[in-house]
Structure 1
């Protein structure tokens, strides 16, 4: 099974720039060893189970909870049985369909 998660999470009570807080979350994801892609508006990662996905989201919140009074988050899930490695395959499929050379 593949659980793709696209999410953003950040404090709303820390001023205009929240990159130090977002960096805590990205560091945790990176150190966990799971596949992920960072984008300007969020992060997408892939795990094998919904439990793992929710655990990452919970850990992300726990990193902000001690010193953030208000946290905003948007989370989207794409859950598919019988597949894996969709973090790369979904993009490659679209690029093939538009005739674009797939970047390695």
Structure 2
């Protein structure tokens, strides 16, 4: 009996910051707020997921690593996706694909 493919992927929690200007607030601070909101809504914490897919627009190299590092969520694969305004959607698509492929059970 082989590995059974996953065909459905569920979103357990969502975190997003308001669009617009955020004078005096860093990109890392915005990301931290979004991650905290997503984890709270999903009822997940450190150790409950195997990888993170971070979509940011124009935030620079390793923006996701900086956000997760600020939350002490390290020691796992962290994939940074930069696709302009489509970054969040691209991150979601890659995360769902990794789950469908059987690489991970739960991701951020």
Fold match, TM over 0.5?
Answer: no
| Higher RCO (CA < 8 A, seq sep 6+) | 1
Q: Which has the higher Rg, Structure 1 or Structure 2?
A: 1
- TM-score (norm. length: structure 1): 0.29
**TM-score, with length taken from structure 2:** 0.28
Hey, which of these two has a bigger chunk of strand by percent?
A: 1
